Amino acid sequence: MSLQEMLNDAEARPLLLSVDAENFLKGTLRTEQETQGYVRPWRMSDRQYRSLGSVGAWHPGFYRQVAQCTCGIALAFTTDATRIGLEVRFDEEPLATRTMLRETDGESPQPPDGISCIVDGKRLVCAPAQAGEQFVEWYIDNDPKHPTWQRLPGFGPTHTVWLWLPCLRGCAVRRLWGTATFFKPLKQQDLLLVVGDEASQGFGGEEPADGWPVAYATHNHLDLVNQSIARQVFQSDFLLDTAGLRDPAMIVVAVGEQYRKEAYSTERLRQDGRQFFGVVQRRWPGAQTLLIVPHTAGNENYPVAPRSPFPKLESIYHSVAREFGVRCIEGRQLVDPHVGVQQGIEEYPNAEGFSQIARRLALVVQPREDQAVLRQRAKKLLRQVPDYAFPLKAATKIERAQWLFVKKGACLAKFSSGLQMLYAPDHEQGQDVAALFSNRRALAVQGEAMKEWVSTELGLTHAQPYHVAIYKGKRKISVPERYHIETLPAATLDELLKRYPNMDTSTVDDLDTQNEVGTFFGGFVCDKLVGFIGTHEEGCIGSLEVMPAYRRRGWAFALEATLVNHLIDKGIEPWCPVYPESTATLRLLSKLGFEITPATQECYLCTRD
């Protein structure tokens, strides 16, 4: 029997518990009493609502319509019910929403929206929004052992329930019903305040719970107040009076897409941003504040308007952020280009894109850790990695390696040469880490899937697969006594270049670093330098050079063996990367006893520049 049927049944109705829905609202600053006992929740104060209709607002009539949407508002509670139901009165879809979703050749279809139901972290079917009074209900007691059983009130487990109200229209609520003995409001948590435009409001998602503010707040155990307004820009008076809003622990500002579409003074934009963050700083000096910078590349469906400040927006945002101690995050780092949905001439992230934004924001705001702590964690996590990921394991023994991210799902290190190495057993986290922390110039990754993603999403289209050769064990290699090899003194780069002007450029680039770390060996015949070898900054063997007149005399073997023995004495496992076309090097390494991985697993990617 459904909850609706129980309500209409004289014998079953007394088994139901009914409470005022208003007592379980989250994400509101105020409520208004309406007819027939309904209560309308508002996500902004009365003065904020009036400011959206002031002369200082860009589109006052439009803003006030969108402000009535219940974006980010939820009913949150625990209950022992098996079924729950809500009396709700949905508004008509605002003209502003229809305008945002209108197709280029006519009216858009009814947008997906309604009430999302999340029970114990699992999402149930969204109740669609249709104008007028409705009774929406869900069966929330999923017992996999006894799927056909229906428990009596009071005999079920306690569930945590979130009912997220529509994000593209408004509504009013009245009574919450259930086959329960109790409904209990959830405790207050630290508050996240979001001030954004259409993407932050939820355009592009299929239901309210898809929005990135909801996903971020849920996974980080935060309460949410979402004051995002489609087409919103910096409006300093909007935050002057936020009566009913408690102090937020975190503020995310994500406005600016509208600047692409309209003419506006660049200096006015800078002034508006300074005034806006001046208010934020005075009101909430202790809040962690982030500013998301819209991707400033032109959109072929909606190009930048004449006299728009959008081309200079990125530099303005960063300048204002520095002035007020706000952290700037590039929008292009938070969501991949392919995870978008086209709505007429507008383009927004889709549900997958919103999930990406939430995940990546969580990575961005995590506390910075000391390099020593990160290196120790990397040593533990990378102890048993496959051979193709050995280069990153070797980096844990190098003081010069800087660790940008170290978690179980992904590890990223960088070197002063510009090279970065990524090991990502969790491909999703690896993609997030690469998007956020890589320099987007040179990156070593493993696996075909990661290679394709880096090439497509980060624009590193020049791919060079390579082998990883590793000398395992402690057995030293015998070097004939006829080869005179010794550690080279700290010769200057100018001296070496003068003596060997035809030296390979990549070798030249490493000479200074190798001399500094003391792993640069030279071979001599009658005090004449005939060849040398060293280790790159990444800890791998490289820069093997034998002068033409002394090649095919065993010098390459002797130099390589000497360096291997030296590294073994230092407790370092020798290794080197080798490109497939370097057949002579591969033969030499095999002769020396190196184990070599296939070139299908590790790949170096960079820009063609």
Q: How confident is the model at residue 98 (pLDDT cuts 50, 70, 90)?
A: confident
Best CA proximity match to 170, nearest among 40, 39, 37, 38: 40
Best CA proximity match to 520, nearest among 485, 493, 488, 566: 488
Residue 603 CA, distance from chain mean position = 23
Give tens-digit pLDDT for 402-415: 999 999 999 999 99
Best CA proximity match to 276, nearest among 257, 258, 289: 289
Q: Which amino acid is at 477?
A: I
- Is 242 within 8 Å of 193 (Cβ atoms)? no
Q: How confident is the model at residue 100 (pLDDT cuts 50, 70, 90)?
A: confident
Q: How confident is the model at residue 143 (pLDDT cuts 50, 70, 90)?
A: low
For the chain, what percent of residues have pLDDT higher than 70? 88
82's CB contacts (< 8 A; 6+ apart) are 139, 140, 141, 150, 151, 153, 156, 178, 179
Specify the pLDDT at position 553: 95
Of 95-109, 213-227, 290-304, 417-431, where does mean pLDDT reach its minimum? Answer: 95-109
Q: What DSSP letter does each residue of 399-434 carry, written as one string? A: TT-EEEEE-SS-EEEE-TTS-EEEE-SSHHHHHHHH
Which residue shows structure tokens 């956020």? 436
Which tokens in the block code for residue 562? 């000497």
> At 348, is the secondary structure helix, strand, or coil?
strand
CA distance 608 to 442: 10
Give tens-digit pLDDT for 516-545: 444 788 899 998 889 888 888 888 998 888
According to DSSP, the residues that pair with 604 across neighbouring strands are: 444, 464
Specify the pLDDT at position 103: 44
Q: Calculate mean pLDDT across residues 157-175.
A: 96
Per-residue 3-state assignment (H helix, E strand, C coil) for 69-97 = CCCCCEEEEEECCCEEEEEEEECCCCHHH
Which tokens in the block code for residue 577? 């990367």
Specify the pLDDT at position 108: 43
Element (H or E) spanning 463, and its range? Answer: strand 462-470
Give how far Cα 247 sits from Cα of 23, 29, 63, 189, Å. 21, 12, 24, 11
Beta pairing, strands 420-423 & 74-79: unpaired
> At 560, is the secondary structure helix, strand, or coil?
helix
Best CA proximity match to 48, nearest among 65, 34, 67, 31: 67
> At 347, is the secondary structure helix, strand, or coil?
strand
- Of residues 295 and 70, the one with the higher pLDDT is 70
- Is 429 within 8 Å of 404 (Cβ atoms)? no
Specify the pLDDT at position 27: 97
Specify the pLDDT at position 160: 97
Q: Is the pLDDT of residue 337 over 80?
A: no
> At 561, is the secondary structure helix, strand, or coil?
helix
Tell me phi and psi for residue 375, to 5 degrees: -65, -40
Q: Calculate mean pLDDT across residues 480-486.
A: 93
**Helix H segments across 117-202?**
198-201
CA distance 139 to 124: 9
- Is 538 within 8 Å of 391 (Cβ atoms)? yes
Which tokens in the block code for residue 374? 């990160």
Q: Is the pLDDT of residue 343 over 70?
A: no
28's CB contacts (< 8 A; 6+ apart) are 41, 42, 43, 73, 225, 244
Specify the pLDDT at position 607: 83
**Helix H segments across 132-265?**
198-201, 212-219
Element (H or E) spanning 563, and its range? Answer: helix 555-569
CA distance 569 to 84: 70
CA distance 458 to 443: 10
- Is 545 within 8 Å of 532 (Cβ atoms)? yes
pTM over 0.85: yes
Specify the pLDDT at position 514: 47
**Helix H segments across 8-135?**
46-51, 60-67, 95-101
- Is 45 within 8 Å of 193 (Cβ atoms)? no
> At 534, is the secondary structure helix, strand, or coil?
strand
- Of residues 148 and 155, the one with the higher pLDDT is 155
Give tens-digit pLDDT for 109-130: 445 689 999 999 999 999 999 9
CA distance 239 to 226: 13
What number of other Cβ atoms are within 10 A of residue 312's Cβ?
15
DSSP symbol at 526: T
**Rg of the chain's alpha carbons, rounded to an integer?**
31
CA distance 453 to 458: 8
**End-to-end Cα distance, the chain:** 67
CA distance 37 to 600: 67
Q: Is the pLDDT of residue 149 over 60?
A: no
Q: What DSSP letter does each residue of 313-338 carry, written as one string? A: HHHHHHHHHHHHTPEEEEHHHHS-TT
- Of residues 214 and 154, the one with the higher pLDDT is 214
Of 226-235, 333-342, 385-394, where does mean pLDDT reach its minimum? Answer: 333-342
Q: How confident is the model at residue 106 (pLDDT cuts 50, 70, 90)?
A: very low
Q: How confident is the model at residue 497 (pLDDT cuts 50, 70, 90)?
A: low
Dihedral (Cα; 264, 266, 270, 273), 10-degree rounding = 30
Which tokens in the block code for residue 568? 């073994």
Q: Is the pLDDT of residue 446 over 90?
A: no
Which tokens in the block code for residue 541? 């063997």
**φ/ψ bin of 26: left (φ > 0), alpha (ψ from -120 to 50), beta (otherwise):** beta
Give tens-digit pLDDT for 11-58: 888 889 999 999 999 999 999 999 999 999 999 999 999 999 998 899
CA distance 564 to 558: 10
Q: Is the pLDDT of residue 89 over 80?
A: yes
Q: How confident is the model at residue 399 (pLDDT cuts 50, 70, 90)?
A: confident
Specify the pLDDT at position 104: 34
